[in-house]
Amino acid sequence: MKSNSAISESRLIIAIDGPAGSGKSTTAQLLAEKLNYLYLDTGALYRAFTLKVVKTGLGKGQEGEIVALLNHTEIDLKNDSGTLRVLLDKEDVTDKIRTPEIDREVTWVCQIPEVRTQLVELQRQYGRHGKVIAEGRDIGTVVFPNADMKFYLIATLKARSKRRQRDLQRQSIDLPFESIRSEIAQRDKLDSERELSPLVKADDAIEIDTTNLAIEEQVELLYTKVLEHVDHMRKSDAGL
């Protein structure tokens, strides 16, 4: 397969969806680096706005005020030598949006229809020139239904909870495994049973079970599939 120049010329939109802890974020980030694509962490947009809602002291039942707040909010993603920084009204909130409190609150904030509409619009703006790997829950179904490639990552609840525990420990947050497991199970339920843009696999998505895969293996697997796709496109464009 001889696709490296084809890759650099490609302008694909690649969607990666899946439940919490399935390895989407790390895989998407590393794959974006390998392909020199933009990594679009859509959960980070919902999380950043949730942080603002929480800081402002707004809560459930105040949807009108929350939507008004969004109209005065600037959320931006910046790639800083390989790591993604999340800016909320120009303040770097990358670490502040990964706390158990935001995990909890984001599940209802992201269900406000106008919040979704506006943040989906922002996501599409990021994707308008292609060369983007977008990761979330509804990328292949709602945000970019015509994405060039769609992946759906899954892993057992146990494997996902272990990964989450390790991520939290890296931030010096120590929580018992059982509470992490039940929080993820609860989020799975909310994400897949919710009314708006529930977590579902797009019909044309490639499903990958990451339970027994190391991150490097996951990235390599997706990378190979992207190369195959680009190669296939190149050949069909050339009428081969």
**Cβ closest to ligand DC, residue 43 vs residue 130:** 43
Which residues sit opposite 78 in a β-bridge? 85
CB 153 within 8 A of CB 23: yes
What would the two tokens of residue 236 be? Answer: 């069909």
Q: Does 52 bind ligand DC (CB under 6 A)?
A: no
CA distance 157 to 191: 14
CA dist., res. 78 & res. 94, Å (int): 10
Question: Which lies closer to ligand DC via its Cβ, residue 47 or residue 52?
Answer: 47
| Least Å from the CB of residue 165 to ligand DC | 15
* Residue selected from 12, 16, 37, 47 as contacting ligand DC according to rule CB under 6 A: 47
In whole angstroms, how large is the CA radius of gyration of the chain?
Answer: 18
Pairing of strands 83-88, 75-80: antiparallel
Distance, in Å, from the CA atom of 155 to the CA atom of 18, rounded to the nearest integer, reads 9
Tell which positions 18-37 bind ligand DC, by CB under 6 A: 20
For residue 105, state whether it binds ligand DC (rule: CB under 6 A).
no
Q: Residues touching ligand DC: how many (CB under 6 A)?
A: 13
Please choose, out of 83-91, 106-114, 169-177, 217-225, the segment that lies near ligand DC by the rule CB under 6 A.
106-114
User: Least CB distance from residue 198 to ligand DC, whole Å?
Assistant: 9
Residues 126-145 that bind ligand DC (CB under 6 A): 136-138
Q: Read off the DSSP letter of residue 78.
A: E
For ligand DC, give the closer residue by CB, 7 or 109: 109
Q: Shortest Cβ distance from residue 120 to ligand DC (Å)?
A: 8
> Hey, how many other C-beta atoms are within 10 angstroms of the C-beta on 22?
24
CB of 141 to ligand DC, least distance (A): 10
Is the Cβ–Cβ distance between 9 and 233 less than 8 Å?
no
Token couple for 178: 């059982």
**Position 107 contacts ligand DC (CB under 6 A):** yes
Binding site for ligand DC (CB under 6 A): 20, 42-43, 46-47, 106-107, 110, 136-138, 187, 191
